[in-house]
Amino acid sequence: MDTGDLKVFESVARNGGMNRAAAELHTVQSNITARVRALETSLGCPLFERHSRGVVLTAAGERLLPYARRLAWLLADAARAVRDDGTPRGPLTIGSLETTAALRLSPLFARYATAWPEVDLAIRPGTTAELIEAVLDRRLEGAFVCGPVAHPSLTELAMFEEELAVLTAPGIPSLEAAIQGGIARIIVLRAGCSYRQRLEMLLARRGIAVPRVMEFGTLEAIFGCVSAGLGLTLLPRALIGPVWQSGRVALHDLSPDEAMVTTVFIHRRETHLSSALRAFLAEAYDR
């Protein structure tokens, strides 16, 4: 068994067939079949079950696949480390909560782009759950998420403190008034949003069962529905200042233990930190 055999095995497993793997690896199907059979012979067990539409992994293949993927990532990481001469350049893809991007990141991005013009910086929005998964899968080099994360494969760095507040329709004098008689809906970003989870916990502490949920992809849609009296939401206070001051919503303060939340930056623990990412973190801490 060598790295080449594992690369072929991973491609067949991901593509679900020998022909598709051959096309991806720019070789012929017979070569892929021979490599897989040689690997199965060396390991002494079948890795795939063949059928008319392709292949599926056996139990042994399922156990081998994470190691093949880990080795591929390690080899790619080694190549990146060798090519990285210490000058920030090339692609850098960072994830962020939409609220954090709107509130905190524009000045940081501007300073970074000015300081390191050879870096192609890309920002991918998402919920905390989505961004953690993307960093673990190495689709992002790092991400700003709601902490704490406490994952053994991730390093987290405290970045910002946010104060959360509950929003309701105008004219509702207090959170207690809003929840009297129950709440029709909570209005939130999609599943995996950390603020949604906190709102559900906040209501549970007050004896309110989680009501129906309305999910939206934009903050403006959430503001509009809350303003119309369809339900309530939980967001960073600094983000909702202009909306609250214009009278579109009512804002309700929380106790410090419920209101304060830390935004952290996460990256994989055992991976090469590119010069572009190191420079980004230095710029973030120098704010």
Beta pairing, strands 48-51 & 250-252? unpaired
Residues 172 and 282 in one domain: yes
- Cis bond upstream, residue 236 (ω within 30): no
Q: What is the pLDDT of residues 194-250, one digit of tens each?
A: 888 888 888 888 887 766 888 887 888 888 888 888 888 999 988 877 666 677 888
Do 242 and 128 belong to one domain? yes
Domain boundary residue, one of 64, 83, 102: 83
Indicate if 39 and 92 belong to the same structural domain: no
Residues 100 and 216 in one domain: yes
Dist CA 226 CA 234 (whole Å): 10
Residue range of the domain that includes 171: 87-287
Count Cβ atoms within 10 A of the Cβ of residue 155 and give its class: 0-12 exposed, 13-18 middle, 19 or more buried.
middle
Looking at 2-58, list the stretches that DSSP marks H as alpha helix, in order from N- to C-terminal side. Answer: 3-15, 18-25, 29-43
pLDDT in tens, 98-137: 889 988 899 999 999 999 999 999 999 998 999 999 999 8
Whether residue 56 is found in the same domain as residue 175? no
Q: Are residues 95 and 234 in the same domain?
A: yes
Same domain, 73 and 91: no
Judge whether residue 178 has pLDDT over 90.
Answer: no
> Angle CA(242)–CA(245)–CA(247) in degrees, nearest 5?
115
Both 15 and 132 in one domain: the answer is: no
The confidence score (pLDDT) of residue 196 equals 85
Residue 100 and residue 79 share a domain: no
**Assessment of whether the complete model's pTM goes beyond 0.85:** no
Number of domains in the chain: 2
Verify that 102 and 137 share a domain, yes or no: yes
Domain boundary among 22, 52, 83: 83
Identify whether residues 70 and 177 lie together within a single domain: no
Q: Are residues 10 and 141 in the same domain?
A: no
